[in-house]
Amino acid sequence: MSIQRFPHDSTAAGGGPPYSKAVRAGDLYFLAGQVGVDALGRLAEGGIAAEARQTIENIDAVLASLGLGLEDVVKATVWLTDPADFDTFNAVYRTYFGAELPARACVRAELMGPYRVEIEVIAAARQEK
């Protein structure tokens, strides 16, 4: 099986985080966990709903850079810092994934940094027709 790594642009230049934004192994793409920060590193303001939206937008952007979309996600793992955010998070999550929901795990955890949510996903490569 071939493995292809997709480093962060800043990592490729010698700085940035010490992990790849995504790794392709066979027909699966494994995305690094995403949090609710914009391209400048600013945390989304407005609580869990705003952070969840930004986090999923970040996932969508990484997927798009790989020629994929949210519809290609087969598994999501979600970490929330506060179980009280679960229902609000789910409402936002559903607006992005709709009826074609991927498999998912969701747990409560303390996250590194001031984040309320982190999500990592596994996506399937699109099959050539």
Across 28-111, the runs of DSSP E, i.e. the strands, are 28-31, 73-80, 103-108
**Contact in structure between 89 and 57 (CB atoms under 8 Å):** no
**Contact in structure between 122 and 29 (CB atoms under 8 Å):** yes
Active site residue 106: yes
Catalytic one among 32, 37, 106, 111? 106
Cα(25)–Cα(37) distance, integer angstroms: 27
Catalytic site positions: 106
